[in-house]
């Protein structure tokens, strides 16, 4: 049975009696198959699995979807229950940011990680992510925390956070879970209209195309990027924000003459009004 906890005090008390290792799955709720895969990964390694559900105001820009982000605690709790989550921790905004003095407490990871890719348009987004994860890590001090590779830039920022803020948490990167169409599962897929759902699956097709083109040996990295951009340009409802190749750990942009191993192609695009991201791993080409 999943226990719902809403306050820091309650969870801190509870943590004293929970068996270790403790695995944390950070989420913003609207749980889907991607989140469930993280829960399952946690269950293979941890005696206690805690899912936190918190829509973090600090990581949304003023023109973004903080207000209308899908929230359904009841349905999330059902999913936790069905998946044998031990604790669902769903604090209020006031519980996590009692002072509401956002500026003072914001963590700023290095700009090399945060002013590229999604950080170019989502200014301060990763500062908000690092800040909230730091808070939850301080409260729960999990042995393991599970993140999806779908949000790969976020994963890089969190690895930086753990290293620089000396958290003892072991970060586990989990594979991207997809719909049958190839579209990466995302809470924001809920916003897509029926035709847009189908169109959105072309984002993953464009990533697979880049990978296949590269493996064919007939295209440079930059040509692969261009080919995929041309492919995506045929869909009027897709407005690409970026399509780039970057190194796996540092997120440094790949030059054509770079030794081609361990990098990712990254894409972000709006499908209708919905902003989606995805990426694909390239190893040892």
In angstroms, give the least distance from the CB of 218 to ligand AMP.
31
Nearest-CB residue for ligand AMP: 148
DSSP 177: P
> DSSP characters for 37-76?
HHHHHHHHH-SEEEEEE---GGGS-TTSSTTTS---HHHH
Is 163 among the catalytic positions?
no
23 binds ligand AMP (CB under 6 A): no
> Rg of the chain's alpha carbons, rounded to an integer?
19
Interacting span for ligand AMP (CB under 6 A) from 24-32, 80-88, 115-123, 269-277: 24-32
For residue 104 the two structure tokens come to 């003072």
In angstroms, give the least distance from the CB of 257 to ligand AMP.
32
C-alpha distance from residue 244 to each of 118, 120, 199, 222 (Å)? 11, 13, 20, 8
In the list 37, 189, 206, 279, the residue contacting ligand AMP (rule: CB under 6 A) is: 37
Looking only at residues 133 through 152 of this chain, which bind ligand AMP when binding is defined by CB under 6 A? 147-148, 150-151
Looking only at residues 158 through 187 of this chain, which bind ligand AMP when binding is defined by CB under 6 A? 174, 176-177, 184-187
Cβ-based nearer residue to ligand AMP, 146 or 243: 146
Cβ-based nearer residue to ligand AMP, 161 or 224: 161
Cβ-based nearer residue to ligand AMP, 150 or 275: 150
In the list 5, 22, 28, 157, the residue contacting ligand AMP (rule: CB under 6 A) is: 28
Cβ-based nearer residue to ligand AMP, 127 or 213: 127
Cβ(134)–Cβ(165) below 8 Å = yes
271 binds ligand AMP (CB under 6 A): no
- Alpha carbon dihedral 9, 94, 51, 107, in 10-degree steps, equals -100
CA 67, CA 214: separation in Å to the nearest integer?
41
27 binds ligand AMP (CB under 6 A): yes
CA nearest to 151, candidates 279, 253, 40, 2: 279
Cβ(176)–Cβ(208) below 8 Å = no
Cis peptide bond prior to 21, omega within 30° of 0: yes
Cβ-based nearer residue to ligand AMP, 91 or 148: 148
Sign of CA dihedral 184, 186, 190, 196: negative
In angstroms, give the least distance from the CB of 183 to ligand AMP.
9
In angstroms, give the least distance from the CB of 153 to ligand AMP.
10
Q: Which of 32, 35, 125, 264 is catalytic?
A: 35
Interacting span for ligand AMP (CB under 6 A) from 28-36, 70-78, 95-103, 265-273: 28-36
Residues whose CB is less than 8 angstroms from the CB of residue 111 and which lie 6 or more positions away in sequence, other chains included: none
Catalytic residue positions?
35
- Site for ligand AMP, rule CB under 6 A: 26-28, 34-35, 37-38, 147-148, 150-151, 174, 176-177, 184-187
């Amino acid at each position: 049975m999943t226990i719902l906890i809403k306050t820091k005090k309650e969870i801190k008390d509870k943590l004293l009696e929970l068996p270790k290792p403790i695995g944390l799955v950070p989420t913003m709720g609207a749980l889907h198959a991607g989140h469930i895969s993280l829960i399952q990964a946690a269950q293979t390694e941890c005696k206690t699995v805690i899912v936190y559900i918190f829509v973090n105001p600090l990581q949304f820009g003023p023109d973004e979807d903080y207000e209308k982000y899908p929230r359904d605690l009841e349905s999330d709790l059902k999913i936790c229950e069905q998946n044998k989550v031990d604790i669902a921790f769903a604090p209020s905004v006031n519980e996590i940011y009692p002072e509401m003095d956002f500026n003072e407490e914001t963590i700023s990871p290095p700009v090399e990680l945060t002013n590229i890719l999604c950080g170019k348009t989502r200014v301060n987004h990763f500062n908000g992510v690092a800040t909230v994860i730091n808070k939850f890590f301080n409260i729960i001090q999990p042995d393991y925390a599970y993140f999806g590779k779908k949000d790969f830039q976020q994963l890089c920022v969190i690895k930086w956070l753990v290293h620089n803020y000396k958290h003892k948490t072991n970060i586990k990167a989990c594979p991207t879970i997809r719909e049958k169409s190839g579209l990466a599962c995302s809470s924001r897929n809920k916003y897509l209209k029926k035709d847009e759902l189908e169109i959105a699956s072309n984002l993953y097709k464009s990533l697979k195309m880049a990978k296949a083109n590269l493996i064919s040996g007939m295209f440079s990295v930059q040509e692969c990027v261009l080919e995929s951009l041309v492919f995506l340009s045929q869909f009027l409802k897709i407005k690409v924000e970026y399509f780039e190749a970057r190194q796996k750990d540092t997120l440094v942009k790949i030059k054509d003459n770079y030794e081609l191993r361990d990098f990712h192609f990254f894409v972000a695009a709006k499908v209708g009004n919905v902003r989606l991201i995805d990426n694909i791993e390239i190893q040892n080409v």
